[in-house]
Amino acid sequence: MILKPQLKDIKHIGYYLGKITIGVGFTMFIPFIIGLIFKETNPALDFLISAEIALLCGLVLTWVCKAEQDLNWMQGMVIVSLSWLVAMALNAIPLYLSGHYKSFLDSCFETMSGLTTTGLTLVQDLDHLSYTHNLWRHLGPFIGGQGILIIALALFMKGTAGGFKMYVGEARDEKIFPNVIHTARFIWLISIVYLIIGTLALGIVGIRIGLKPHNAFFHGACVFMAGFDTAGFAPQSQNILYYHSQIFEIVTIIIIILGSLNFNLHY
């Protein structure tokens, strides 16, 4: 069967894609704040520029394509597919502006590798990458591992029918609560709780092996996000070998095992 999209289909897809784009834009303020904390002015500006581009695109899409009716299956599947491509392109902008990638295509590859928790990297001179951009590399697996659509469902969606179609379209099978929106919010709640606990555990181990406190907890957060979503990224080019600590490795292994479990089991 050949799908023949009508104007209303395009409007529905554009409207919800705009919401997802706005969600991506807001996540860029996390590394922006980190950049201000670490006094990395230029990297912080990279994310401010990128966030403005994402928010502007999202607001234009939601304004031009305003349509709040529930989605059908075709619309939901198309939104899921396009959202991953849009997230890849937008998330690659600040990485490319860092100057640590030979081309925008390389930064797109890095972004998609992170979002899909693949773990392949094309970054140049990783050991001198800013805290701000390094955090963004690791936020990618954390966002992608839980699901880009889960952000939209948790923050922006009110209905259940359209949200359910996107949830299933992203190959999700966990339905912890009858309402898929509540399920999405639970997934993010449990992920953030684990993030706090895992960062504290790895940070304390990092301090014990000689890292400065701010470095220890930064590395702890990055390694947790990559480990919990089995992505394989690390803040340093030597990866886990950089820490020369069996305890650090054991804690990381526990985090990886926790991340491999179904959210129903976590519940």
Domain assignment of residue 226, yes or no: yes
The pLDDT value given to residue 3: 64
Half-sphere exposure of 1 (CA within 13 A, CB side): 4
Lookup: tokens for 223: 């390694």
Domain assignment of residue 2, yes or no: no
**The total number of structural domains that make up the chain:** 1
Q: Are 92 and 202 in contact (CB under 8 A)?
A: no
Lookup: tokens for 144: 């992608």
Cα separation, 25 vs 58, in Å, equals 8
Residue whose tokens read 């706090």: 196
pLDDT tens column, 146-189: 777 666 665 556 554 455 555 555 555 566 666 677 777 888 88
Cα separation, 165 vs 171, in Å, equals 10
pTM metric for this prediction: 0.84
Domain assignment of residue 1, yes or no: no
Listed in order, strand segments (DSSP E) in 94-163 are none
Count other C-beta atoms under 10 Å from residue 257's C-beta. Answer: 12
Domain assignment of residue 17, yes or no: yes
Q: Which structural domain, as residue segments, surrounds residue 57?
A: 7-266
Q: Are 31 and 136 in contact (CB under 8 A)?
A: yes
Averages of pLDDT over each 10 residues, the chain, 267 residues: 68 86 91 94 95 94 80 78 91 95 95 90 93 94 78 58 54 62 81 94 95 94 92 91 94 93 83
